[in-house]
Every structure is written in structure tokens, then in C-alpha cells.
Chain A
Amino acid sequence: MTDSLIRVEGIVKRYYRGAEELTVLNGINLTIGDGEFVALMGPSGSGKTTLLNLIAGIDRPTSGHIFVRTDDISSMSESGLAEWRSRHIGFIFQTYNLIPVLTAYENVELPLLLTPLGGSERRKHVEIALHIVGLSDRMSHHPSQLSGGQEQRVAIARAIVTDPTLLIADEPTGDLDAKSAEEVLVLLERLNREFKKTIVMVTHDPKAAAKARRLVRLEKGNLIEDKNEKETTPTSRKDDVLAGGYQR
């Protein structure tokens, strides 16, 4: 059993559409261990993306608490939360969300600009991240010069370049063809197994979910299923290059 990394305690999230109140998450309790690869599944409107956003600290719960290690992120200030995200969260979006005017290198460097690292250190980190995703030869390419799969791998490099505590992936294969999707999933699996990255992934795709080692299913804002599909222990790190990340 892994150590607890995330504790979601009694999370409720409500939205208002005009006068109508919509309860998207209805008292969710969830614990995610360090080094887990969790797939959040469920039909549209089940609240899985909302839960992902809350865990990532880009949205706030109506009530309840979310602890990442000892940090209660639901009570952090706006600027404190931004700073926390820059340290602990790596985002992988469905539509990659790379900045089109920046090269692959510059896109990956973006999160590092918030760190005290100097130019040469940043370069080293960016090169390692791009090496891990297999795009060392595409550093100077702009997103428009890359395929969808390559763009998503650049986005993954951007997510891991700061060596974050947690990788958040929202439908990472949703916009990709089967081959590219498989490559991305293999990469995520490798990040989890080799680099012990904790990954929380929202997906509709059963093949993607099959790569995860734990499946959490939501429906109408309630957690209806939580099972470990493959109870395996993460292998020891073969390449500890990210673990030696920068110290703030």
C-alpha cells in the first residue's frame, strides 16, 4: 500500500444556472496514494472533470476539504494556490493547449520561468523532459509543425519539467488517433512506473483506463465504484533524472 498523497473529504460542488442550483459533486470522499495511476471515469455530467479540477487546485469546492500531503488546498489564497500549482501540479489537457507562437522548447520552459532556475539549468531540465517524451529533435518546432501526438508529448514534457508531485490529465487521448493515443498512454504508464509519478486521469476511453492501476467511477456526482484493476507495485526508478529536480 502506498502512502496517502491526496485526501478528498466530503467535497460538495454546486453551480448556479440562473436560479437553478446544480449539485455536481455530492460529498465525495477519496484517498489517492503516492505513485498511483488513477483513472476517473463516468458519463458526461458525472462530475469527474470537476473533481479533477478541484484536486488540481484550479477550482474551489462549495464545501469539504482537499489535502495534498499536508496542504489544505481548499483554504489557500488565490496567489498561494497559484504558487502551489506551479510546484506540485503538471497539467495534460485534451487539446494540448500549447502556446502557438512558442516553440516546443519554449512551451516546455514556461513553468520553469516561475522557478529561480537560471537559463542553463532551465535548458537542462527542458532537454531532459523532451528527451523523456522522445522529442529531443523537435525542440525548435512550433506546435503547428507537429502532429497531434507530438503536441501532446510536448504538453506532457511541459507537465513533467518541474518534477511535480501530481500529474493531472484531462482526456489526454481524446483528440488523438489510435496510434498516437497508444504512444501517449505508454508514456504516461512509463512516467508512473519508472518515475513514480502520481497520475490522476479523466477518460472516457476504456483502453486508456486499462493503463491505470486504479479505476474510480462517478455518476451524478457520487462515487459509485473504486477498484484496483492491477495491484502491482511500482518498479524502482531506472532513471532518476527528474527526481533530482530543482530545489526552490
Chain B
Amino acid sequence: MGSFLKALDAPDPAETRGMFRIVTRHKVGLTSDLPLSYAQRIRQLDGALGVTTFDWFGGSYIDNSARNFFARFAVEPETFLQVFDDARVTRGSIEDWMSDRAGALVGEDLIKKFGWKLGDQVVLVGDIYPVTLQLTIRAVYGVSYGGSDGLFFNRKYLEQALPSFEGTVGTIWIKCADAEAANRLSDEIDRIFDNSPYPTKTESEKAFQMSFVSMLGNVKLLLTSLGVIIVLVIVLIAANTMALSARERVREVAVLRALGYTRRMILMLILGESLMLSLIGGFLGLSTFIIGLEPLKVSLMNTPISGFASAIMLFPEVLLMGFGVTLFVGLISGIGPAIRASQRPITEGLRHMG
């Protein structure tokens, strides 16, 4: 659970790499388009090093199953890598892609997943746009951070197939010179278009990506609540187990105390047992997580949250937190039975019929 939450809090790649990307979209939402001319207007702003456009195509590849789902965008090949300069072309070339209007730039993860190679045809059947695209893989890209599981093709190909698409754009991505420019441009862009028929909302790449997650509801709150509930349930189960265990051994504890074991020793014995049980449980849980992490990531790769899945990893903080939770569960579940057992009068314990 901690790893999921941590993945949601993964650092903004633009910030960590000094790439300072921001995203402009229609203020109303992603389903409303912006005029393509906005991209040209933004290019003229001081601090905008690169500007490119993104249009979600959607559609289906082979079928609509989650297994065959991946990101499909109509983009501008000429400016794409100016903004996404953390991506590098590993096979084919950007020129090959640009020279073929039906060409596609495909991520390495997708190439691996579907067993594609350069020159292969990828047919996308549109749903939002009533058109079938027959694309040819002309270049492959990779990134050092996160997943490379997108397919990008030339927006001109879509304009040619669907004239109504011309002149509109879903989102505009801007690469800023620095952090100051990113902050300034976010405000400036929205101010410029504030009184237009198409007002904008500009935000950092991370905030933009998180808005997708928030479409599912407050996932962080949900996961955190789920985690807290799970921990509380475990505490209740563990406390009940320890209480039963201590109750079964009332006479044994009384005998130990009669033999000279002090209250403190009894307290430590029962608390130690509780902590040990909890640590064994924590170790087993952690081992299961470590063993199951990769298969989990692979299975999530085939779903709409594949980008999020790629950020899930074994964070040291999560390990520490898991250790802390384990100690907490052991301590909380054992302290009550331990105190009761150590405080019970010996004569009462010896009379106890277990």
C-alpha cells in the first residue's frame, strides 16, 4: 500500500531533470478542445523553449481489452522531442518518422510487449474519431525514468483523414527555460486566454498527470484510508489472538510468577511474543510483496494505469514504514494482554480453570 502511495507521490521528472514542462488545456476539461493557434501564440512567449501539441486518439488496437490498451496520441513530430527531450530515439530516426505522414514513434515497452519491429503496421480503429488509421512504426523511443509505453503519430495524418479535426488541439505542452519561467508562464498563459471563448488551465506536468488519477476519485485518500483500515483490522485480529493466547496461559503465567518471575519479566515475555509474531508476519508480507512486485507491475502494464504502475518500486521509506507498522501492531496487540497477565494475582491465576 505504501509503495502505491509513494508511486503517486513520485517526483516530477521535469523538475528532477530540470526540464520544467507545463501543460495547457481547456479550463472546462480535457474533453473540450483549444484552438491550434494557441500553440503558436504560446511559442512567442519569453521562456518557452519548446511547444508541442497532443491529441488523444483513443480507438482500439486488435480489440478493446485492457491487455491491448496503450496510449495513442496525435502529435507534431517536428516539435515533439524539443519538449520531451528526456526521450531518446533508440531505433529508426526522427527523420524517418517525420518523412512518413503515417509513421509512428513507439515506446520500447510497447515494442517488447507486442513483439513489434521497425516497419510493422499498427492498425488503430477509431472510436472518438470515426476513422481507421494504418500506421507504420518508423522510430522507437526510450526513457530512463518511468514507462515508454506510448504510440505517437503525426497529427497531419489525422487532419487529412478528418478535416473537422483541423485547427483544434487537446493539450499544449510547453518546455520552459527554468522553474521561474514555468511558474510565470503558467499564470501568463491562463491570463492571456482568460477572456477568450476558450479559457485555459495551465499546470505542471505532475499536476496534470495527477488530475488523471484524481478522475478515479481521491485515490491517495482512498489508499491511505484502506491502509489505515487494514492496519486497524490487523491490530484487532492480533490483539484478539494475543488475548486468547494469554487467557489460555493464565495458570502458566501464575506458575512462572510463583517460581519467582517478576511482573516485568512476564510483561516482557508476552510483549516479546507479540512483537515476534508481528515481525514474522511483517517479514512474510514483505517477502510476498518483493516476490510479487514484478508480476504485479507486469499485470498493471496492461491496464490504463500502466504509467503509474511503472513508478511502483521498493521504496526504502516504505520498507521502514512497514517495519514501523509491524512494531506498532505487535506492541498495540500485546500490551493489553501483557499488562493483564502480569498484574493478575498469583493465587487467582493458580485457581484459573483454563
Contacts and interface: CB of A to CB of B under 8 A. Distances in A.
**Pairing of A with B:** yes
B258 A110 contact: no
B260 A87 contact: yes
A114 interface: yes
Contacts of B264: 79
Interface residues of B, number: 16
B81 to A, nearest CB: 69
B291 interface: no
A78 B263 contact: yes
A97 B255 contact: yes
A86 B255 contact: no
A58 B259 contact: no
B260 A82 contact: yes
A151 to B, nearest CB: 13
Interface string B256-292: 1111111110000000000000000000000000000
Secondary structure dominating the interface of A: helix
Contacts of B346: 53, 58-59
A83 interface: yes
A58 B260 contact: no
Given A97-B251, A99-B255, A110-B256, A79 B262 contact: yes
A91 interface: yes
Nearest to B262: A82
A36 B350 CA distance: 26
A110 B266 CA distance: 13
Secondary structure dominating the interface of B: helix
A110 B347 contact: no
B227 interface: no
B258 A91 contact: yes
A89 B261 CA distance: 12
Nearest to A53: B347
A111 interface: yes
A111 B259 contact: yes
Contacts of A89: 258, 260
B276 to A, nearest CB: 15
Given A97-B255, A99-B252, A99-B255, A59 B345 contact: yes
B107 to A, nearest CB: 58
A59 B264 CA distance: 18
A171 to B, nearest CB: 12
A114 B269 CA distance: 14
Contact of A86 (B259, B263, B347, B350): B259
B260 A86 contact: yes
A195 interface: no
A82 B259 CA distance: 8
Interface in B333-352: 345-347, 350
A82 B257 contact: yes
A6 interface: no
**Most chain-B Cβ atoms within 10 A of its Cβ — which of A58, A59, A111, A158?**
A58
Interface string B229-265: 0000000000000000000000110011111111110
A111 B260 contact: yes
B252 A85 contact: no
A166 interface: no
A83 B260 contact: yes
Contacts of A99: 252, 255
Contacts of A83: 260, 262
Interface in B310-346: 345-346
A142 to B, nearest CB: 14
B345 to A, nearest CB: 7
Contacts of A105: none
A99 B249 CA distance: 9
A37 interface: no
A86 B258 CA distance: 8
A202 to B, nearest CB: 13
Contacts of A91: 255, 258-259
Contact of B261 (A56, A97, A114): A114
Contacts of A58: 257-258, 346-347, 350
- Name the 3 nearest CB pairs between A and B, nearest first: A86-B260, A58-B346, A82-B262
14 contacts: A58-B350, A59-B345, A59-B346, A78-B262, A82-B260, A82-B262, A86-B260, A87-B260, A91-B258, A91-B259, A93-B350, A97-B255, A97-B350, A99-B252
